[in-house]
């Protein structure tokens, strides 16, 4: 059982156990959190003095202090004997979280870089294992918005002739906030967005103006029957609202089928002809 360090109450943070647990939730281990709380209650400590007060094994205290210094919670005061003091919590905690956030972002960026190459390698193996049938032969059902977004971006990046979309929320990918749409128009793809009427913030209005200036055609329709994206009149996706009233969700049908694409193109043209220009 943890024994509270013997410090005068006026020199010690209130509610020690609560703060000790919170520091561990932030990212310190039990020894580090306990040592930091003891440092807060005193101007400075020698390492072995701190070990005794914070109930950290003597053989562990230097490792704990090195970690606290590295994480920005403690600082070294070099006198005749090395002393340690706490860093102001208003500096230590935000600084530590900011460094952790940067490290996590760097880790995620590296994982994404590795994953991009891995996906292609695994997909080739998957197609060979399926007897040459690709993931988009005929129809595929996708319930995960992340997978829907992946297919959408892949097909948009591969489009050479035309891209057309019924745009209505909620979005796996917001077409008014997608650089790949601008990339498509820049390589000569005919791009059209039919947008369902609804509230639009200033940022989206500005993006809409940018799209129009780039040559992307846009129209508005009071109500759209479903979510649809078409690419080169041969592939695309349709998103249908599942009839579950308690928790509505979307299922996407990913297709690569000339007949189905032709039918969806006819639907798009019908609604496009009735659309309202800005």
pLDDT in tens, 99-143: 989 989 988 888 888 887 787 778 777 666 766 555 445 678 877
Question: DSSP secondary-structure letter at 160?
Answer: S
pLDDT higher than 80, residue 74: yes
What's the fold here for domain 9-87? Arc Repressor Mutant, subunit A (1.10.10)
What is the C-alpha separation between 151 and 271, in angstroms, rounded? 24
Res 5: pLDDT: 43
pLDDT higher than 70, residue 152: yes
Res 131: pLDDT: 62
Res 68: pLDDT: 93
Look at the block and give the residue holding tokens 């040592």.
35
Res 196: pLDDT: 86
Res 2: pLDDT: 40
- Could you tell me what percent of the chain has a pLDDT over 90? 26
Direct distance between the N- and C-terminal alpha carbons of the chain, in angstroms, rounded to an integer? 70
Mean pLDDT of 143-154: 83
Per-residue pLDDT band for 57 (boundaries 50, 70, 90) equals very high
pLDDT higher than 90, residue 148: no
| Entry pTM | 0.51
Look at the block and give the residue holding tokens 């490290």.
103
Among 206, 198, 193, residue whose Cα is nearest residue 156: 193
pLDDT higher than 70, residue 12: no
Res 113: pLDDT: 82
How many CB atoms sit inside 10 A of residue 268's CB? 20
pLDDT higher than 70, residue 192: yes
Going from N- to C-terminal start, the domains of the chain cover 9-87, 99-133, 138-277
What is the C-alpha separation between 237 and 140, in angstroms, rounded? 9
The three-class DSSP label of residue 238 is strand
Instruction: For the chain, give the mean pLDDT.
Output: 82
CA triple 174-266-195, angle to 5 deg = 25
Look at the block and give the residue holding tokens 């870089």.
113
Cα atoms in the Cβ-side hemisphere of radius 13 Å centred on 81: 7
Res 9: pLDDT: 37
What's the fold here for domain 138-277? Endonuclease; Chain A (3.30.870)
Q: How many residues does the chain have?
A: 278
Q: Is 153 exposed, middle or buried (0-12, 13-18, 19+ CB in 10 A)?
A: middle
Mean pLDDT of 211-220: 88
Mean pLDDT of 67-77: 91
């Amino acid at each position: 059982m943890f024994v509270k360090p013997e410090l005068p109450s006026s020199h010690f943070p209130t509610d020690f156990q609560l703060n000790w647990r919170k520091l561990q939730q932030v990212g310190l281990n039990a020894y580090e959190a306990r040592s930091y709380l003891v440092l807060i209650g005193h101007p400075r400590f020698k390492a072995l003095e701190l070990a005794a007060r914070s109930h950290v094994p003597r053989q562990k205290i230097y490792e704990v202090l090195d970690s606290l210094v590295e994480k920005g919670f403690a600082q070294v005061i070099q006198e005749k004997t090395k002393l340690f003091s706490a860093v102001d919590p208003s500096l230590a905690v935000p600084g530590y979280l900011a460094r952790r956030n940067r490290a996590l972002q760097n880790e995620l960026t590296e994982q994404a870089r590795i994953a991009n190459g891995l996906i292609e390698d695994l997909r080739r193996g998957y197609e060979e294992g399926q007897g040459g049938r690709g993931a988009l032969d005929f129809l595929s059902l996708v319930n995960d918005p992340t997978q829907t977004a992946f297919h959408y971006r892949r097909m948009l990046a591969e489009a050479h002739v035309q891209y057309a979309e019924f745009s209505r929320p909620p979005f796996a990918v917001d077409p008014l906030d997608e650089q790949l749409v601008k990339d498509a128009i820049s390589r000569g793809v005919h791009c059209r967005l039919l947008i369902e009427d609804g509230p639009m913030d200033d940022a989206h209005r500005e993006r809409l103006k940018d799209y129009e200036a780039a040559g992307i055609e846009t129209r508005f329709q009071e109500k759209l029957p479903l979510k649809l994206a078409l690419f080169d009149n041969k592939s695309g996706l349709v998103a249908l609202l599942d009839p579950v009233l308690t928790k509505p969700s979307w299922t996407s049908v990913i297709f690569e089928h000339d007949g189905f694409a032709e039918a969806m193109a006819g639907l798009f043209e019908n609604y496009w002809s009735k659309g309202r220009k800005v």
